[in-house]
Structure 1
Amino acid sequence: MEEKGFWLLVIVLVLECRILIEGGEIPSTGECAMNVKERTNCGYAGISVKECETRGCCFDAKYPDVPWCFYPHLKTGTGECGMKVKERKNCGYAGISVKECVNKGCCFDDKYPGVPWCFYPHLKTGTGECGMNVKERKDCGYAGISVKECVTKGCCFDARYTGVPWCFYPHLKKDS
């Protein structure tokens, strides 16, 4: 029993050293805890634990017929850029620079392959004058309006839903 504990400790130390040397980031247990039906493939058949974790993804081979290497269930960034990686809506193109992405008023995070690195933020949404049913949205811009242009006009911006305006007028504030 002590020998198993020793080898487990060796494996953990090797992985931690890999993080320090390669600069990779292994997701925490909480980020990988999810229903197996929620897993989104982050690798390919036969991917190694090392390669999976180098991609910043979770690895769990306990269950057959589901992805063993999968995207973590986490939020990246903070504030309006904080969202699950699967919620990202592309705000750029392949190879867009950080500067160009940010100049468009968008978020940039290149830690995870297979999802947009330049993506629309969640701005002024969910509560207050921008909290409304998506069917209530009245277009405040035009197709392709940037986040900055929309917000500068005093409008709300939320790119989470397709088929509805992303730049829309807020509810009018009621005088008390």
Structure 2
Amino acid sequence: MEVRTLWLLLLPALWSLGSADEYVDLSPSQCQVSAEDRVDCGYSQITEEECNDRGCCFDSSIRGVPWCFKPLQNAECTF
């Protein structure tokens, strides 16, 4: 029980460390692009930092698709 409590306390702190500069002016939801909809935003061998500096998303967990890709755009409301 104590280990579980410790993890529950540490997770938010660890999450904030990784997300503080993970995206440049992007929300994490903007980088939730399906593999088939990714539009390349980088070049071969681009690093995660270089990709994020371009204002793009980086996810190397899926082979055969762009790892550095354009984020989803925020929809504008027009009435």
TM-score (structure 2 length as normaliser)? 0.66
**1:66 paired to 2:61:** no
TM-score (structure 1 length as normaliser)? 0.32
Larger Rg: 1
- Residue identity opposite 2:57 in structure 1: C
**Structure number having the greater helix percentage:** 2
SS of the equivalent of 1:75 reads: coil
Aligned Cα root-mean-square deviation (Å): 3.5
* Structure 1 unaligned blocks of 5 or more: 81-176
**1:33 paired to 2:38:** no
Counterpart-to-counterpart distance in 1, 2:48 and 2:60: 9
Counterpart-to-counterpart distance in 1, 2:70 and 2:15: 26
**Structure number having the greater strand percentage:** 1
Q: Contact 1:60 / 1:69 at 8 angstroms: preserved in 2?
A: yes
Distance 1:10 1:73, change over 3 A: closer
Counterpart-to-counterpart distance in 1, 2:17 and 2:54: 18
Q: Number of paired residues? A: 71
2:14 corresponds to: 9
Identity of aligned residues (%): 32
Counterpart-to-counterpart distance in 2, 1:25 and 1:59: 11
- Residue identity opposite 2:34 in structure 1: N
* Structure 2 unaligned blocks of 5 or more: 1-5
Counterpart-to-counterpart distance in 2, 1:11 and 1:79: 30
